Structure 1
């Protein structure tokens, strides 16, 4: 059958959604299906990396960091998408990635063409927007659009039970499958690299992440470990973090790099003391899972996580099997203490290899992608069955 994936972002553009959707495409191709991808034109210097799927791009507006994020960039993708999806070869099923405005377009077009679709509800966007804007009108509109998009789906897939619970609270009664999330273990593997007194924050750092708490933590760490630094790789509130680092007198100890593909990120993880991940409490987003942890663990690099939600429980469980990291309160002193512990006793190479092997066995993105592909295939099979055939 033909499956169409709709997403404003796709590999090789570095983002969790890109790697996830690419892995799902691989799983569907391995099952003998055809896959079309309707996505945005890549940033300058990147070109599509087709691995059997057909990637069809279209020009899109990007923000100043080169990311498709914000009202106008979303609309620049969604408006042409309506025509692209309306006149593309008819698929058996569509798999779509938010934002909810994309979901609304998919629901309308798929309704016209009578095509079932699967909604990837990795999180709840209207909850995230509640932190980004003070406009209750905007939140109400976005929540209505998100409900509309989810309610039209034949099925939803998500990362954690916390998202399922939140979706139910919003009145969505569609079938939801918890598939988990994982690391692309074809890209993130353990490699030998010289140890470096560096902690890495890799991935997006929005207001919901609250990465600013890491800066006073670094100040406290450097009272005993003056050589240690923080390297931030990705997109986010860079100007605000840079300004805060200068105010704290650690401007030279914090390095900012653009988001990079997995092959370029992996070497940074190989020699780092640990990666850092945060989730700011009280944003209405406490149920979210910090998926960047998987890539770090697959590369043999432990994770220090600060904040609420299921990431802490995941790390506590992982530590029963391997030395995976630490989960602490969203507090600079607690973070500094955890950083100091790993700086004093970094993972040995055998420990890194054990960590990478455990992650590959238990949390590979390939395994997650197969579970998502199974949902997509089931939806298509149900839609194609004659009435009464499934009774």
Structure 2
């Protein structure tokens, strides 16, 4: 690379702002940090759902293409992925060569980037938040599908120059299945430009908020099952979901079956800036991961956004989220309980009986912003990327 030439990075991701997701926030902040360091940044992504308000970061070129979405308007499922991946191959082929390519899974997208990065003779890195093959085993028992996905995922990850992995347990799992690509555990955090504490009066009666995707993998229906026991002690309590996912209809049906549909609300995804004050005023946020083997090394990232807004967390499940809350050294971060209806209801009732006062919420948000900021992670990603292209 010639001295003094502006470095170029292309980020290939099916999901980017204004779509509401952890990946959208993370990749936007990465793009902004690359731009702040003098890189020319291009994002190749999908067109958002009709009516979405686009607010792209300044100085970053975002190119969007049509894509197939499911009935929840998500780019999810392999027909949707292919509707993004096939055009992506041509978009990369005819785009000016980048010094570095960054790719967000699924594995098919990673495989496309491996091929095109090789043709362009440039390195690529992967933002690795999960091991997709094991997550797919939760929704299909088809051995051909699982076997194909395992090979495609391994091939894509092995070709990368670096994996920016969510945490060390995921790296350990990848090593166990024979993926030896250099990896850095960069951790998780919150977008503290949007998630912060604004003094909000505590609701009466109590309100519990779930913000994010609700899929079979997340197992969010446990909070619906726990609500009858909460309502016995706290009549009028509400459980409010903001997000979307394939479990929505099943959870709505379960609420009707339990006769608590008036106490459980389902809302569409909302932007972080709108969700933050809701969390700031909630009794607690709730998060879960189903007790299945892939979740032994998965982390519920929504806990970081909640803490940054000054809202304590009730987590149901196992894995690194348990260790995070238990080892946080903060008395008000929240609690981790077993994925069990009785345990979840007890935690919700305890939170409702002793809501966190405003002063403690402000201190919790300040602590979270110091310790877990996506901006600090982005700085490390860009520094590692400079080292990669330097080699």
Relative to the length of structure 1, the TM-score reads 0.96
2:387 counterpart of 1:378: yes
Q: How big is each residue's C-alpha offset from its partner over 1:291-322, in whole Å with a ceiling of 9 and x where there is no partner?
A: 0100000000010001010101111122x234
2:302 counterpart of 1:269: no
Question: 1:285: how far off?
Answer: 2.5
2:240 counterpart of 1:231: yes
Q: What SS does the corresponding residue of 1:223 show, helix, strand or coil?
A: helix
Structure 2 unpaired stretches of 5+ = 1-6
2 CA distance for matches of 1:122 and 1:294? 15
Q: What SS does the corresponding residue of 1:211 show, helix, strand or coil?
A: coil
RMSD: 1.0
2:208 counterpart of 1:199: yes
2:143 counterpart of 1:133: no
2:253 counterpart of 1:243: yes
Q: How big is each residue's C-alpha offset from its partner over 1:188-229, in whole Å with a ceiling of 9 and x where there is no partner?
A: 010012222210011011111111111121111111111111
Question: 1:98: how far off?
Answer: 0.1
Paired residues for 1:61-76 under 5 Å: 61-76=68-83
2 CA distance for matches of 1:154 and 1:216? 45
Q: How big is each residue's C-alpha offset from its partner over 1:230-270, in whole Å with a ceiling of 9 and x where there is no partner?
A: 00111111101100111111111110001111011112112
2:314 counterpart of 1:304: yes
**8 Å Cα contact 2:166/2:188 also seen in 1:** yes
Paired residues for 1:55-134 under 5 Å: 55-134=62-141
292-301 or 207-216, which moves further after superposition?
Answer: 207-216
Q: How big is each residue's C-alpha offset from its partner over 1:78-112, in whole Å with a ceiling of 9 and x where there is no partner?
A: 00000001111110000110000000100011111
Q: What SS does the corresponding residue of 2:18 show, helix, strand or coil?
A: coil
294-303 or 132-141, which moves further after superposition?
Answer: 132-141
Q: How big is each residue's C-alpha offset from its partner over 1:344-364, in whole Å with a ceiling of 9 and x where there is no partner?
A: 111110110011000000001
Corresponding residue number in structure 1 for 2:267: 257
Paired residues for 1:1-391 under 5 Å: 1-46=7-52, 47-196=54-203, 197-236=206-245, 237-318=247-328, 320-382=329-391
Corresponding residue number in structure 2 for 1:388: none
2 CA distance for matches of 1:257 and 1:304? 20
**8 Å Cα contact 1:48/1:55 also seen in 2:** no
**8 Å Cα contact 1:300/1:353 also seen in 2:** yes
**8 Å Cα contact 2:195/2:308 also seen in 1:** yes
Question: Structure 1 residue runs of 4+, over 3 Å off?
Answer: none
2 CA distance for matches of 1:89 and 1:322? 51
Q: What SS does the corresponding residue of 1:10 show, helix, strand or coil?
A: coil
Relative to the length of structure 2, the TM-score reads 0.96
Corresponding residue number in structure 2 for 1:385: none
1 CA distance for matches of 2:356 and 2:55? 37
- Between the two proteins, the alignment pairs up a number of residues equal to 381
1 CA distance for matches of 2:313 and 2:50? 32
Q: What SS does the corresponding residue of 1:252 show, helix, strand or coil?
A: helix
2 CA distance for matches of 1:123 and 1:171? 15
